[in-house]
Amino acid sequence: MKKIYMLLCLILLLPACASDKTAMDNMSAEELYNQAFEDLEKTRYKKAAEGFEKLETDHPYSKWAVKAKLMGAYAYYKDEKYDDAILAADRFIQYHPGNKDAPYAYYLKGICYYDQISAADKDQGDTQKAEETFRRLIALYPDSKYADDARQKINLTEDYRAGQEMIIGRFYLKNHNYLSALNRFNVVLENYQTTIQIEEALYREIEIYAIFGMNKYADGYYKILKQNYPDGKWTAKAENIMQKINQANADKKIAPAPVKDEGDKAVRGQDDTQSAEKKPWWNIFKWGDDTKKTTVVEEKNVSSEEKKSTLLGFFGWEGDE
């Protein structure tokens, strides 16, 4: 019963659709434009886009056809048919590059890409295309009313791209692939210096150079970070690393041996002479006594322990044996 009811509804709608199509066929270019514009205002975006396209097809040389190209692109954009909107905007730019609305066509195309920008951990193809389109708009029409907003959008697209570099860099860092991580953070420092990611990128450089034991580089990046972000949370984290580095360097310093006066040396010389006289004559053919051998072994053990106390161990990082 339900299927029969739906079939009857479709049959009743067919004459209405046919009559609407016949009515549109008999409309002038201006009437078609006004009808499509009315559909656009009433949020019937798909119908509006179809109306603007029909105007282009039926009246390609009218002044309304030029407007219809751009309005059709806007209708597709509002209907979230971004690919169709981009194609329509490109057609307008191709056939009417000198039109006063050309800057808006570029802007609309850029917005279509911009609205499709996904999270920073996804592919950033749309981000790059949006940035390229906005830069093209600024280069061709630097004084247009859309240029300022395009510049702001570029800053945001750069934040997205820098964010993706940071995500990849953190992944490498977590997996102890320090050189690859360092390369990613360097990309942010070199290419995205005006983004919000720059503060953490500086900290990560300090972190990795500390792992490598390249304290001079770590200190250099720390000074840059502190100068530009004196109260930042990443500066505070970096300060903890630098304090550990300084403490480790202080612990490695060896205290100077005590200096004995000449009198002690003289007495010690006498004692050595007396003890040498008491030793058997055949001792001169020995390389050393058992006491000296024991001392050497103990020194080697101490040296081995010192080697295990590295900067990586101090920070709690696990290094390769």
The C-alpha atoms of residue 106 and residue 146 are separated, in whole angstroms, by 9
Tokens 């307008």 appear where?
A: 92
pLDDT in the model for residue 184: 97
Q: Answer for the pair 55, 27: CB distance below 8 angstroms, yes or no.
A: no
Mean pLDDT of 235-251: 90
Task: Quote the pLDDT of residue 125.
Answer: 84
Start-end of H helices in the chain: 2-25, 29-41, 45-58, 63-78, 82-95, 102-114, 125-140, 147-174, 178-191, 198-212, 215-228, 233-252, 262-278, 290-308, 311-315
Residue type at position 302: V
pLDDT score recorded for residue 251: 76
pLDDT class of 209 with cuts at 50, 70, 90: very high
